[in-house]
């Protein structure tokens, strides 16, 4: 007791609880992705939309407002947890319309951070983002990536109407299932 003020017996418990809550809030604020890492369920009070499945059915990409802004998130359906995707989401851009390659290595989407949206590709192996439509004069929307990750189809408004365009990424490391990586490539018979 100090100066005749009597302390309530639950004051210490309340103070300990408040300190613990503050530590949890600080840990959550340090998570750049804004989604919980570790086991987590998909059902939530958040707005989740625009789902896309990887070809092998393991990963689910979607747009969510789980951290207070619209971001792309990746969820591992087998492990039932969110996947860390550093450098994918930027605070100054809105991402939408995700599409995944076969094993989820490549993620293609629309990002709007300037006057016009761009088609971008995220490589989970290298953790790098590549802008695929830099320099396009028209609008772009609804990208879709081939299972092997080499081709990207999207709608473009470059001619004043919506048309389909396909981008060939050329010789890249293809996203193939493990059993196809180990098979020798077919040879032509004379």
- Going by pLDDT thresholds of 50, 70 and 90, the confidence category of residue 9 is low
> Do the domain assignments include residue 175?
no
Residues 6+ apart with CB under 8 A from 153: 143, 144, 146, 164, 165, 166, 167
Q: How far apart are CA 73 and CA 32, in angstroms?
A: 12
**Residue 169 backbone dihedrals phi, psi, to 5 degrees:** -75, 0
**Residue 20 backbone dihedrals phi, psi, to 5 degrees:** -65, -40
Contact 100, 52 (CB under 8 A): yes
How many degrees, rounded to 5, is the angle at CA 60 between CA 55 and CA 66?
Answer: 165
Q: DSSP code of 29?
A: H
Q: What CATH number does residue 109 fall under?
A: 2.120.10.30
Q: How many domains does the chain have?
A: 1
The answer, yes or no, to whether residue 30 has pLDDT greater than 70, is: no
> Do the domain assignments include residue 186?
no
Q: How far apart are CA 127 and CA 100, in angstroms?
A: 15
> Do the domain assignments include residue 17?
no
If DSSP states are collapsed to H, E and C, what string results for 153-183? EEEECCCCCCEEEEEECCCCCCCCCHHHHCC
pLDDT above 90 as % of the chain: 53
How many alpha carbons lie under 13 Å from residue 7 in its C-beta half-sphere?
10
> Do the domain assignments include residue 12?
no
pLDDT tens string 72-120: 999 999 999 999 999 898 888 889 999 999 999 999 999 987 778 999 9
> Do the domain assignments include residue 88?
yes
pLDDT tens string 140-166: 999 999 999 999 999 999 888 999 999
> Do the domain assignments include residue 158?
yes
Range of the domain at 114: 34-170
What is the pLDDT at residue 32?
45
> Do the domain assignments include residue 97?
yes
Mean pLDDT of 40-47: 77
């Amino acid at each position: 007791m100090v100066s005749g003020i009597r302390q309530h017996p639950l004051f210490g418990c309340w103070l300990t609880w408040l300190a613990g809550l503050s530590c949890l809030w600080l840990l959550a604020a340090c998570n750049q992705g804004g989604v919980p890492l570790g086991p987590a369920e998909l059902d939530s009070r958040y707005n989740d939309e625009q789902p896309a499945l990887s070809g092998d059915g393991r990963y689910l990409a979607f747009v969510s407002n789980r951290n207070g802004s619209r971001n792309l998130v990746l969820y591992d359906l087998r492990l039932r947890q969110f996947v860390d995707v550093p450098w994918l989401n930027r605070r100054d851009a809105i991402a939408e319309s995700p599409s995944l390659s076969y094993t989820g290595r490549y993620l293609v989407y629309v990002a709007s951070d300037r006057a016009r949206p761009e088609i971008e590709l995220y490589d989970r192996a290298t953790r790098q983002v590549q802008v695929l439509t830099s320099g396009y004069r028209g609008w772009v929307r609804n990208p879709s990536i081939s299972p092997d990750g080499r081709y990207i189809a999207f709608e473009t408004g470059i001619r004043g109407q919506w048309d389909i365009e396909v981008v060939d990424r050329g010789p890249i490391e293809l996203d193939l299932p493990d059993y196809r990586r180990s098979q020798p490539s077919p040879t032509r018979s004379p």
